[in-house]
Amino acid sequence: MSAADPRPLAVFLDALTLGPVDLTPLEAHCRLRCWPVSTPDQCLERLEGATVAITNKVPLAGELLDRLPQLRLVCTASTGTDQVDGAACRRLGITVHNAGAYSRPSVVQVTWSLILALRGGLEERLQQWRSGAWAASPVFALVEPSFDELAGQTLTVLGAGSIGSGVAAVGEALGMRILRLTSRSTEAELEQALREADVLSLHAPLTIATRGLLDRRRLAWLRPSALLVNTARGALVDTDALAEALRAGHLAGAALDVLPEEPPSAAALAALQTVPNLIVTPHMAWVSRQARERLVHTLAGHLAALER
């Protein structure tokens, strides 16, 4: 790219987070500079002269934004924008765009994979095959442990966005009763919906109000037969309290695709491996090939708007 190229400079601070995906659609609208990863201390130097900052998980604090007078646009390569100081952006006149509903089909699919695995006791069934228990059976099928059908059960969806709506639609197709909670739901409505839930699926953004939302007190509202699935943000759930509930049998099972600290420490993962009826996956619900391609094209659309 020529040094005289007059197009705006866009800097992607953590392009490695998207894995192997074609970023050339972004280059149609800007000069693109990609860094695999960036620490907060490296951001000022790397963003100097940039019109656009693209970040997946690198935090952009107000103190940093104050020192970047040329910055006009921040694009998050994610659905959430909690990594960006929104108040500072509004004060400085910097536009913030997220990647919208790019991951909806992918996250809905993985959410239901986790729900079905938990409710069907898939992990234990796989062990029966691998251990030889099925081969040793005197009859053609292993009946125990049995599982309950989702039809007729209650699915409580926390989060009224596109992904939450998609998860609810699948639940309806399976014959489930759906309860929806939004940011406007009252504490009383939250309590009732959790007490009635057979499955609780989290799809809320991480905000000051939602951080630690599922704490020890609220987890106790769930039935002992209930399942909890979190494919949203790890900090929505007090994982220590969740582990206690699972160990005590106060909750039938849980699946976490997200954790409060990512990547988690080896010690944190080792502690979770001892928790019964818990599935942990490495923040992969959004990473389908199609979702990552849609994300890039969404970012390209935000960059194209600079030309208008």
- CA-based Rg of the chain, rounded to a whole angstrom? 22
Q: What is the pLDDT of residue 1?
A: 47
Q: Reply yes or no on whether 247 is catalytic.
A: no
Positions of E strands within 126-214 = 154-158, 177-181, 199-202
Written as six digits, the tokens of 124 are: 């234990």
Q: What is the pLDDT of residue 4?
A: 74
First to last CA, the chain: 22
Q: What is the pLDDT of residue 306?
A: 84
Residue 115 is classified by DSSP as H
Q: Reply yes or no on whether 72 is catalytic.
A: no
Q: Which of 31, 203, 233, 294 is catalytic?
A: 233
Q: Between β-strands 177-181 and 154-158, what pairing exists: parallel, antiparallel or unpaired?
A: parallel
What backbone phi and psi angles, to 5 degrees, belong to 32? -110, 130
- Coil, strand or helix: which one is 201? strand
For tokens 């006149």, name the residue. Answer: 93
Q: Reply yes or no on whether 283 is catalytic.
A: yes
Q: Which of 119, 203, 283, 292 is catalytic?
A: 283
What backbone phi and psi angles, to 5 degrees, belong to 297? -70, -30
Q: How far apart are CA 243 and CA 259, in angstroms?
A: 13
Q: What is the pLDDT of residue 308?
A: 65
Q: Domain boundaries in the chain?
A: 9-100+289-307, 104-280
Q: What is the pLDDT of residue 52?
A: 98
Short-list 125, 123, 148, CA closest to 137: 125
Written as six digits, the tokens of 205 are: 């953004």
Q: How far apart are CA 54 and CA 96, in angstroms?
A: 10
Contact between 84 and 63 under an 8 Å Cβ cutoff? The reply is no
pLDDT in tens, the chain (308 residues): 455 788 999 999 999 999 999 999 999 999 999 999 999 999 999 999 999 999 999 999 999 999 999 999 999 999 989 999 999 999 999 999 999 899 999 999 999 999 999 999 999 999 999 999 999 999 999 999 899 999 999 999 999 899 999 999 999 999 999 999 998 899 999 999 999 999 999 999 998 999 999 999 999 999 999 999 999 999 999 999 999 999 999 999 999 999 999 999 999 999 999 999 999 999 999 999 999 999 999 999 999 988 76
The CATH class given to the 9-100+289-307 domain equals: alpha beta
Q: Which of 262, 289, 297, 307 is catalytic?
A: 262
Q: To which H or E segment does residue 54 belong? A: strand 52-55
Q: Do domains 9-100+289-307 and 104-280 have the same CATH topology?
A: yes
Q: What is the pLDDT of residue 117?
A: 97
Assign a CATH topology to domain 104-280: Rossmann fold (3.40.50)
State the pTM of this model: 0.92
Q: C-alpha 269: how far from its chain's center?
A: 18
Q: What is the pLDDT of residue 6?
A: 84
b/e sequence 45-72, b meaning 16+ C-beta within 10 Å: ebbeebbbbbbbbbebeeebbeebeebb
